Structure 1
Amino acid sequence: MAVPATDEADVRLVDSAVRRSVVRLIPFLLLMYVIAFLDRSNVSFAKEELEIHVGISTAAYALGAGLFFVGYAVFEVPSNLIMHKVGARWWMARIMITWGIIATAFVWVNGETMFYVLRFLLGVAEAGFFPGVLLYLTYWFPEDRRAFATGLFQMGLPIANIVGGPLSGGLLELDGLGGHHGYQWLFGVEGVIAVLVGIVAIFYLTDRPAKADWMPEDEKAALERRLQADDRARASHGGRLGWAKALVNPRVLFFCLICLCIQIAVYGLTFFLPTQVAAITGRDVGFVVGLLTSLPWLCALVAIIVIPRLADRWRRHKEIGALLLTLSGLGIAVSAVAGNALLAMAALCLAAVGFVAVQPLFWTLPTRYLSGTALAAGFGLINGLGNLGGFVAPNVRVWAEETFDSSTAGLFALAGAAVVGAVLLLLTKLMARPPADEAVTTPAPERNS
């Protein structure tokens, strides 16, 4: 939604404050997200070793991989409400340190039961991180810059997979060093990194612009005025809900369904990507396969840098998002039937571009309707229920493959989820007039790039 135009000096101060916030905050938040995604998805690289050394079957692996998202969903909303109350700095540090400790504990996994318990606890520990960061960005970035800032943060998803492929594959090849299996090196090293970064977060992050001793006073004041204007605009269009009402708001629940479709595509592919690439190339999972799995994420990284900025400029978040999800579904489907390795890898690249680049566009939509504790609760619920796609996807994929006795059936199911998400994204146009699109009465101030 637009806010009343301000004088030129104020616009320049806000622009400078936004640039300063990007430089100060986004790289560290990006690092945190990379580590978070590594610790939730590195199990995909350990899949075969866990089967050999611990006796975890494919069905048990799929269930355990998904249990993370059950714990994650249950504790998302309370975690976000606590962060809104106590501040981001301490709460995000707490999240990282506890999830790092639990991630490290996978070194000692000794069977399916322990695997299930640790995956669930890892989800509980990490609950609130992603929606917490999305909420945190609303404290620092005006609405007309938020998709760009969110896109920069969500570069963590492709970066985690670009870095995580070679890193996780390389750690697996330490098998036998010091008398430990490769999967133990994988979980141990990546878990300890999370603990260390969590400790640094206590001293590095700043809760809100008013507390930023690294930002000039005039910039802080101008940024706060602009953010408050955004909040008043939301409230004037019915955006002022209590957190409890936000949890049953039809718009919020509709966003949950869209998020679920997106995450089914993301995790249905992510949890099996190393083994899928290994099958395509005829290699064992290791460093080389790790490098190859980074190719789709490199393409996604380029897309997530470019596309959110274009969507902000054109104000066509829904339409561009629906196109991206459709392309993602097409890529997943083609990867299932491609007759050669080159075509299959190109299809996987298209799939990753679609489901990665759509996410910062999608996350701008709830901020048009919610603010304050309602936004904190809404983000938590949307991300929590949406990320149940991480539970649904691997189990649906395995079920489809076993039911239809076809290795491609699971991928077609994931492709279908992406297309359904695209349709639902377009249907958000049928909601009550979104203030950002139709209720604009005064143009937003122009911003320098």
Structure 2
Amino acid sequence: MGQVDGVDGVAVLRRASWRIIPLLGLAYMIAFMDRSNISFAAKTMNADLGFSATVYGIGGGVFFASYALFEIPSNLLLERVGARRWIARIMISWGLIAAAMMFVQTAWQFYALRFLLGMAEAGFFPGVILYLSLWFPRAARGRAISRFYISGPLTRVVMGVLSAWLLALNGAGGLKGWQWLFLVEGLPAVLVGLLVLYALPETPQSVTWLTPAEKDWLAGQLAADAPVSARHGNPLAALRLPVVLLLGMVGLLTTCAYYTFTLSEPQILAQVTGWSMASIGALVSVSGLVGAAGMLFTGWLSDRSGARLPFLLVSTALVMIAYALFALNGGLALGLVAYVLFVASWGSVTLSVWMLCTDLVQPRNMAVATAMVNTMSQTGAFFGPIGWGIARDATGGYHAGFVGLFVVQLLALGFVVGLMRYRHGQR
């Protein structure tokens, strides 16, 4: 992507990256925090409100049910309304609902607000993936998505420290620590949503910071690498595409296991290590840096090699091994090894899924395909935490849950192998 007809392609993509990715990355950081911060609130909130592990698991999972239910309609509306307006709407509404979590007093209020939070946020992530596919050609897309996506693991750096500090405000202003957590971590989404409405560029053709020649170059690059596939334009047709179905099943199983773990992560780490919540927060923060490094490395090397599937295969297998090590319950050292393996590898799993989706699906099908893959993924995240909570209440520990996560990840590995065989047969 050097000089072509007087246009420096590298400079064009670099300019686009700086104009787009930091803002979207900040938005995703807040989204990840607002859907996951109940993991830090859980211990004191559950004790204060009398919630069992099953109640907490249902509340954790119901977010993903509404998220999945409204995913495709949201992405179709994004195409019609435009990314800037729709992403801003998503952020403002979810920020208000996330902050309102501070008022929860009963299990049904907990369920209702988590359901509304998922409905408000639906379409954000696949909408951003669709948006990035309109700006970055395939040869640069892995790096673009990874630079946006590292906000997920980097959120751990912020959330680990901030959440522990907010919980320590317990009693200040007559509020519990977990109420301060929801309030302070929820409202920034409203402010960033307003910033998106003002600052996010709509399309390459609409901006003033690219010349006409640069716009033509970018349009030509995006048209040249469009995958060859049948043209479908409705959700049911997209679901029948084998690539969408296989990627959706990988997403369903891996996301099921991931969010099941994440929504109980501080409690799991406290049991494994015996450390205080402040120390657990510091550990989660450090893990975010490890996860970000793994994700950036995957995006860079997969673009450089032109291969995506080997990274998906290896990272899925490594996460499976991490769950197996947790299930062994071998003490502090083995638990920390399992945790490092998990945080270093999981980002590469989900990043590879999305890189493959944007590589293998025709651009005109992208809105439906990305929404469908994410819908299937979030469906898995609904069932996992509920099953985990029921197992925890029944057994009093995490061993049975981790055996379940290992089995789920093993099934995901089987679908990855199936995807590799399908792609081999297409060549």
Letter in 2 for 1:424: F
Q: Report matched runs for 1:103-142 at 5 Å.
A: 103-142=98-137
Instruction: Give the Cα separation in 1 of the matches to 2:162 and 2:6.
Output: 43
Could you report, residue by residue, the CA deviation over 1:155-191 in whole angstroms, capped at 9, with x for unpaired residues? Answer: 0110111211111111111111111111111000111
Within the alignment, does 1:380 sit opposite 2:371 as a pair?
yes
Contact 2:53 2:393 in 1 (8 A): no
Q: What residue is the counterpart of 2:150 in the other structure? A: 155
Alpha-carbon spacing, 1:67–1:273, altered in 2? closer, same or farther (3 Å): same
Q: Tell me, which stretches of 5 or more residues in structure 1 are unaligned?
A: 1-5, 439-449
- Aligned residues of 1:151 and 1:304 also touching (Cα < 8 A): yes
Indicate the SS of the match to 1:387: helix
Matches within 5 A, 1:30-429: 30-231=25-226, 234=227, 237-244=228-235, 245-285=237-277, 287-402=278-393, 406-429=397-420
What's the CA shift string for 1:217-249, capped at 9, x where partnerless? 322221111112223xx2xx2242213311333
Alpha carbons 1:319, 1:426 under 8 Å: kept = no
Kept in 2: contact 1:159–1:301 (CA 8 A): yes
For residues 166 and 268 of structure 2, the distance between their equivalents in structure 1, rounded to whole angstroms, comes to 20
Larger mean CA deviation between 36-45 and 300-309 belongs to 300-309
Q: Give the 3 Å change call, closer, same or farther, for CA 373–9 of structure 1 in structure 2.
A: closer
1:420 positional shift: 2.0
Q: State whether residues 280 and 341 of structure 1, in contact with CA within 8 Å, keep that contact through their aligned partners in structure 2.
A: yes
Distance 1:353 1:266 in 2: 13
How far apart in 2 are the matches of 1:71 and 1:144? 34
Distance 2:289 2:360 in 1: 33
Q: Following the alignment from structure 1 to structure 2, what is the Cα–Cα distance between the partners of residues 214 and 220?
A: 10
Which stretch of the first structure deviates more once superposed, 350-359 or 81-90?
Answer: 350-359
- Would the aligned equivalents of 2:163 and 2:181 in 1 still touch at CA under 8 Å? yes
Q: Distance in 1 between matches of 2:246 and 2:417?
A: 12
**CA pair 333-433 structure 1, distance change in 2 beyond 3 A:** closer
- Greater helix percent: which structure? 2
SS at structure 1 position matched to 2:4: helix
Write the letter of the residue equivalent to 2:97: I
C-alpha distance after superposition, 1:343-395 (max 9, x if no partner): 31121110122211122211122223423452101111110121122212212
SS in 2 for 1:279: helix
Question: Aligned partners of 1:136, 1:273: CA distance in 2, in Å?
Answer: 31
Within 1, Cα distance between the matches of 2:99 and 2:365? 34
Moved more, 35-44 or 287-296: 287-296
Segment of structure 1 superposing worse, 160-169 or 424-433: 424-433
> After the TM superposition, which parts of structure 1 deviate over 3 Å for at least 4 consecutive aligned residues?
399-406, 432-435
Distance in 1 between residues matched to 2:403 and 2:343, nearest whole Å: 15
Q: How many residues in Structure 1 have an aligned counterpart in Structure 2?
A: 426
Q: Partner letter of residue 258 of structure 2? A: V
Check conservation: 1:324, 1:358, Cα contact below 8 A. Answer: yes
State the identity as a percent: 35
Q: Is the 8 A contact 1:335 1:345 kept in 2?
A: no
Matches of 1:11 and 1:265 in 2, distance apart?
49
Contact 1:264 1:393 in 2 (8 A): yes
Out of 157-166 and 133-142, give the one that drifted further: 157-166
Aligned amino acid, residue 250 of structure 1 = P
> In 1, distance between residues paired with 2:115 and 2:284?
26
| Partner Cα distance (1:405, 1:282) in 2 | 17
- Structure 1 counterpart of 2:163, which letter? S
Distance between the aligned counterparts of 1:67 and 1:10, measured in 2? 53
| Higher alpha-carbon deviation: 310-319 or 30-39 | 310-319
Partner of 1:240, secondary structure, is: coil
- 2:315 corresponds to which letter in structure 1? L
CA deviation after TM superposition for structure 1 residue 120, in Å? 0.4
Q: Residues 289 and 70 of structure 1: is their aligned pair in 2 closer, same or farther, counting only changes over 3 Å?
A: same
Deviations 1:58-88 (A, max 9, x none): 1100001000000000000010111112211
For 2:8, what is the secondary structure of its paired residue?
helix
**Which deviates more from structure 2 when the two are superposed, residues 422-431 or residues 33-42?**
422-431
| Secondary structure of 1:241 counterpart | coil
**Deviation (angstroms), 1:404:** 5.9
**Does the aligned pair in 1 maintain the 2:53–2:392 contact within 8 Å?**
no
> What is the Cα deviation at residue 284 of structure 1?
4.0
- 1:69 is matched by which residue type in structure 2? F
C-alpha RMSD of matched pairs (Å): 1.9
> How big is each residue's C-alpha offset from its partner over 1:312-360, in whole Å with a ceiling of 9 and x where there is no partner?
2223311221111111111122123243323311211101222111222
